[in-house]
A and B are shown apart, each in its own frame.
Chain A
């Protein structure tokens, strides 16, 4: 469990920081998936832009929380949901490329916007599924070794004392 926390936490901090260094690139990557409307909602809030602004910090925050062991299950849930969502999006995008023809599915490569540059799709899907597995472990595990959550003066919101 501690290994899962450190691995996941470190990886997501790294990915979040990488996205912070290239905000415009990340903005364009989000748009590539075509999952969010390009026009602003209510004329004032562009969801692609909001995602580009917020997502790196959510990743970094979850990474830090996993490492220090605070709100462990909550941060694991957030990362797990993000992983599930983006893995599906990456898969669908790869299917789109595959359907255009000419490339074997596992030969498809593109920049997924994950902070790792151009990736091989099969390798990325395998990596993401492994990370998702780690998230599930962190979510379901009751271990609180070396975790701030274990300290009596840091109650978990929602848990009755």
Chain B
């Protein structure tokens, strides 16, 4: 018995150690040991149902579950408290003065390769599974925005909700966060323009990330 169980235990221990060492050494796809990647933040203060206040026309905003987005329903309904923005509202906001002035920002929660294949114009890429790597460069723009819209693939993709939760843990006020549940699927179905180069984060007219910044891509 000992000749079987002890080696088995050693295999598990050595395998685990190898996994931990490899994980800490990898630059792409590193998994945090402690983060709950699937946590959903709850609104600490129930938000009023008043429409979003913006300097330009307010986007269409609702509250509720992943089923309330309308159009294509989420593959798996995920209850959350974040404000939901639909495609019409998203289109209005993307081309609004608020977006131009940086008061409204958009975050693409998908991985960088998928983001590069096409994303909402002006959206920053903050991959939900590597926030430590992606977020710092865009933090000045995100933290200064009044409206932050997070999206991912749409359909059954839940990463936008998880990333919005992570942003609340990094100090972003709950009420500023919105989830575009229809996501990339909804945007492409609308026929609206798509962008492939990194969006630029500028502070006081100086580019701090994107378009040659963190990702090193040239416009």
A residues in contact (CB < 8 Å) with B: 20, 22-24, 27, 31, 38-40, 43-46, 49-50, 52-62, 65, 71, 73-75, 77-78, 81, 139, 156-159
Task: Give the residue of B10, B19, B38, B111 whose beta carbon is less than 8 angstroms from that of A55.
Answer: B19
Against A, the Cβ 8 Å flags (1 = close, 0 = not) of B15-41 are: 110111011000001111111111100
CB distance from B45 to the nearest CB of A (A): 23
Residues from chain A with a CB closer than 8 A to the CB of B7 are 71, 73-75, 156-158
Query: Are the C-beta atoms of A156 and B15 separated by less than 8 Å?
Result: no
* CB nearest neighbor in A for B18: A57
Query: Are the C-beta atoms of A27 and B129 separated by less than 8 Å?
Result: yes
B residues in contact (CB < 8 Å) with A: 1-12, 14-16, 18-20, 22-23, 29-39, 111, 129
Given contacts A24-B129, A53-B19, A55-B19, contact A46 B11 (CB under 8 A): no
Query: Are the C-beta atoms of B11 and A54 separated by less than 8 Å?
Result: no
* CB nearest neighbor in B for A55: B19
Given contacts A49-B35, A78-B8, contact A24 B29 (CB under 8 A): yes
* CB nearest neighbor in A for B22: A57
Query: Are the C-beta atoms of A71 and B34 separated by less than 8 Å?
Result: no
* CB nearest neighbor in A for B111: A24
The docked-state distance in angstroms from the alpha carbon of A23 to that of B198 is: 24
The dominant DSSP class at the B interface is: helix
CB distance from B136 to the nearest CB of A (A): 20
The docked-state distance in angstroms from the alpha carbon of A24 to that of B101 is: 35
Given contacts A55-B19, A57-B22, A158-B3, contact A71 B10 (CB under 8 A): yes
* CB nearest neighbor in B for A65: B11
Query: Are the C-beta atoms of A156 and B3 separated by less than 8 Å?
Result: yes
Query: Are the C-beta atoms of A74 and B4 separated by less than 8 Å?
Result: yes
* CB nearest neighbor in A for B15: A58
Query: Are the C-beta atoms of A71 and B31 separated by less than 8 Å?
Result: no
Query: Are the C-beta atoms of B2 and A61 separated by less than 8 Å?
Result: no
* CB nearest neighbor in B for A37: B36
Query: Are the C-beta atoms of B10 and A74 separated by less than 8 Å?
Result: yes
Closest 6 A/B residue pairs (Cβ): A74-B7, A158-B2, A58-B15, A71-B7, A57-B19, A54-B19
Query: Are the C-beta atoms of B31 and A53 separated by less than 8 Å?
Result: yes
Residues from chain B with a CB closer than 8 A to the CB of A58 are 11-12, 15-16, 19
* CB nearest neighbor in B for A74: B7
Residues from chain A with a CB closer than 8 A to the CB of B22 are 20, 53, 57
Task: Give the residue of B8, B34, B37 whose beta carbon is less than 8 angstroms from that of A75.
Answer: B8
Other than the known A57-B16, A74-B5, what 8 A-B pairs have Cβ atoms closer than 8 Å? Answer: A23-B30, A53-B19, A56-B19, A57-B15, A58-B19, A73-B7, A77-B5, A81-B8
The docked-state distance in angstroms from the alpha carbon of A61 to that of B22 is: 13
